[in-house]
Amino acid sequence: MTKPLVAVLSGAGISTDSGIPDYRGPNGLWRRDPEAEKLVTYGYYMADPEIRRRAWRMRRANRTLRAKPNAAHEAVTELERSGVPVRVMTQNVDGLHQLAGMPARKVLELHGSARSFVCTACHARGPMEDALARVEAGEDDPPCLECGGILKSATVMFGERLDPVVLGDALAIAKACQVFIAVGTSLQVQPAAGLAGVAADHGARLIIVNAEPTPYDELADQVIREPIGTSLPELLRRLAADGGAPAGHGT
């Protein structure tokens, strides 16, 4: 018998145990420092060299590249290794699903990756460590070595569109899956949040694992408010034991 496809949509909450702060939560960076949002807003970034210099300083201090996967990331990988078909769609840019051993081809990074840089002119890419090494060496706004254009993190900034190919693949998975788990996401940022509704509309069992209520809770078959680091591994172990088949209903 074919095992059901499990889709996992992960947000910032899955990575807080790895030391990466939640940007939108009650104590999130955007609430504490509204000016910081300009550093990741495309229009401001492209127009103002000082914004870019501040952004590069922020990247140097960023804990994302030093973070390690936690029990929740590892549990997703363990489910995939158990033989259950798993696809991850993540709103995070930290690359921790892949570091936990999830095959890169099975992870869709909806908002890009902080582990790479990209040129805004010629679209050349490279490891973020290479760009940060240039900053360390004294270049406060390093230009592209290929064309001299402006470099940025390979993340989707405010004011940029999501990659239509990645979003299209995510929609196809949401429509095809039998189980859709939204974990650590407020389900408020579109279009990624809408994937939960698409999955539910196409008959998937919707499970939401998040500390705070989300707009999709009423559609969910199961809502889990317990800490992600313990509740997600437990949920996925049960799924693996059931071969990916949805468990009984409940909240």
Give the tens place of pLDDT for each residue, 192-222.
999 999 999 999 999 999 999 999 999 999 9
Give the strand pairing for 179-183 and 6-10: parallel
In sign, the C-alpha dihedral spanning 53, 119, 155, 201 is positive
Q: In what order do the strands lie in the sheet with 205-209?
A: 107-109, 86-90, 6-10, 179-183, 205-209, 222-224
Q: Which one, of 201, 168, 232, lies nearest residue 17 by Cα? A: 232
Q: What is the structure's pLDDT at 249?
A: 38
| Per-residue pLDDT reduced to its tens digit, 33-68 | 667 888 999 999 999 999 999 999 989 888 788 899
pLDDT digits 0-9 by tens, 138-196: 999 999 999 999 999 999 999 999 999 999 999 999 999 999 999 999 999 888 999 99
Of 159, 139, 161, nearest in space to 47 by CA: 159
- How far does Cα 149 stand from its chain's mean position? 27
Res 224 pLDDT > 90 = yes
Q: How would residue 243 be classed by pLDDT, with cut points 50, 70 and 90?
A: confident
> Which residue is catalytic, options 73, 111, 123, 249?
111
Return the structure tokens found at 239: 């799924």
Which pLDDT band, with edges at 50, 70 and 90, does 96 fall under? very high
What tokens appear for 232 in the block? Answer: 């997600």
Is 249 assigned a catalytic role? Answer: no
Rounded-to-integer distance, Cα 221 and Cα 199, Å: 12
**Nearest alpha carbon to residue 219 among 202, 200, 198:** 200
Residue 129 tokens, joined:
């460590």
User: What mean pLDDT, rounded, does the chain reach?
Assistant: 91
Query: Cα torsion at 49, 50, 52, 56 (round to 10°)?
Result: 140
Q: Which residues make beta-bridge pairs with 63?
A: none
pLDDT category of residue 27 using cuts at 50, 70 and 90: low
Domains of the chain by start residue, with CATH: 1-20+68-111+161-251 (3.40.50.1220), 25-62+114-155 (3.30.1600.10)
- What pLDDT score was predicted for residue 29? 57
- pLDDT-based confidence at residue 21 (cuts at 50, 70, 90): confident
Q: What is the pTM of this model?
A: 0.90
Q: How far apart are CA 227 and CA 24, in angstroms?
A: 18
Q: Which residues pair with 179 in a beta bridge?
A: 6, 205
